[in-house]
């Protein structure tokens, strides 16, 4: 983690999506980081993903078959809200302002899912965070805009694939194509800079070459514009 502190002013914590680290870890990172360093983090998958997701297996999380229906998809269950409480405490220890809710492709535009989202985000709206929503399932632009507007969410996209529909600051996550293997060329990073524009933005790389791509993009953004 210390390598990031000397090279960047921002990092997105992904460990919190798979399995929540100990709170002492967050306190250690915050203590080691410069005062102006920003952390963002992904919400625990128990909130957004069902136990059938392969990401549960990757994290070594086993849910009893008779309890599977109480996890994921923002369900109004004790299990989901307990996962939120742990996510929130970790974010508070990091002094993070932004929490990202990444949803699986199976989380689609249904009345039940919309209702779950409405209940969940209205219940946590006063927690003091900016909430970012990255839908990966099939959702209409109209519904994404409506939910983001109603619930105060920032619509997260890969800007090389589509434009964001709602919310500020902008929050972009670049995944590097299939299997996260793409390394971004200078020409692509210049196009990304144009897409970001002058708006306040978070730009996160989530590909295998993320560290080097992030440094290259940060250098590009600083050229001719001072310390942005």
pLDDT tens-place string over residues 142-185: 999 999 999 999 999 999 999 999 999 999 999 998 889 999 99
**Residue showing tokens 């809710």:** 101
Degrees, nearest 5: CA angle 155-50-174: 35
Distance CA 133, CA 127 (A): 16
Confidence of residue 6 (pLDDT cuts 50, 70, 90): confident
pLDDT tens-place string over residues 64-123: 999 999 999 999 999 999 999 999 999 999 999 999 999 999 999 999 999 999 999 999
Buried/exposed code over 138-160 (b: 16+ C-beta within 10 A; e: otherwise): ebeeeebeebbeebebbbbbebb
Burial label for 56, CB within 10 Å (0-12, 13-18, 19+), is buried
Phi, psi of 43 (to 5 degrees): -65, 150
Chain-centroid distance of CA 160 in Å reads 17
Q: Please give the pLDDT value at position 8.
A: 83
DSSP alpha helix (H) spans, 140-197: 141-151, 186-196
DSSP alpha helix (H) spans, 125-209: 141-151, 186-196
| Average pLDDT of the chain, as a whole number | 94
CATH number at residue 96: 3.20.20.410
As for how many domains the chain has, the answer is 1
Is 228 within the bounds of a domain? no
pLDDT tens-place string over residues 40-81: 999 999 999 999 999 999 999 999 999 999 999 999 999 999
Residues whose CB is less than 8 angstroms from the CB of residue 58 and which lie 6 or more positions away in sequence, other chains included:
18
Distance CA 83, CA 46 (A): 6
Give mean pLDDT, residues 18-34: 96
- Find the domain containing 105 and state its range: 2-222
Q: How far is CA 199 from CA 73, 100, 152, 162, 196, in A?
A: 31, 19, 18, 17, 7
pLDDT tens-place string over residues 193-223: 999 999 999 999 999 999 899 999 998 998 8
Is 227 within the bounds of a domain? no
Q: What is the pTM of this model?
A: 0.94
């Amino acid at each position: 983690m210390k390598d990031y502190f000397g090279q960047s002013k921002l990092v997105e914590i992904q460990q919190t999506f798979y399995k929540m680290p100990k709170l002492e870890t967050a306190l250690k990172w915050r203590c080691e980081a410069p005062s102006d360093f920003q952390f963002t983090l992904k919400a625990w998958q128990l909130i957004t993903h069902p136990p059938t997701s392969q990401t549960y297996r990757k994290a070594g999380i086993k849910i009893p078959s008779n309890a599977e229906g109480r996890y994921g998809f923002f369900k109004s269950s004790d299990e989901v809200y307990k996962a939120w409480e742990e996510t929130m405490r970790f974010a508070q220890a990091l002094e993070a302002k932004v929490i990202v809710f990444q949803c699986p492709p199976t989380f689609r535009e249904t009345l039940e899912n919309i209702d779950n989202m409405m209940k969940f985000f209205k219940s946590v709206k006063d927690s003091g965070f900016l909430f970012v929503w990255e839908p990966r399932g099939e959702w209409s632009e109209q519904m994404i805009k409506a939910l983001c507007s109603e619930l105060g969410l920032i619509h997260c996209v890969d800007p090389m694939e589509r434009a964001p529909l709602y919310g500020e600051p902008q929050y972009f996550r670049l995944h590097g194509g299939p299997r996260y293997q793409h390394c971004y060329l200078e020409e692509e990073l210049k196009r990304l800079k144009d897409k970001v524009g002058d708006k306040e933005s978070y730009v996160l790389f989530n590909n295998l070459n993320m560290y080097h791509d992030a440094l290259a993009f940060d250098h590009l953004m600083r050229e001719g514009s001072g310390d942005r």
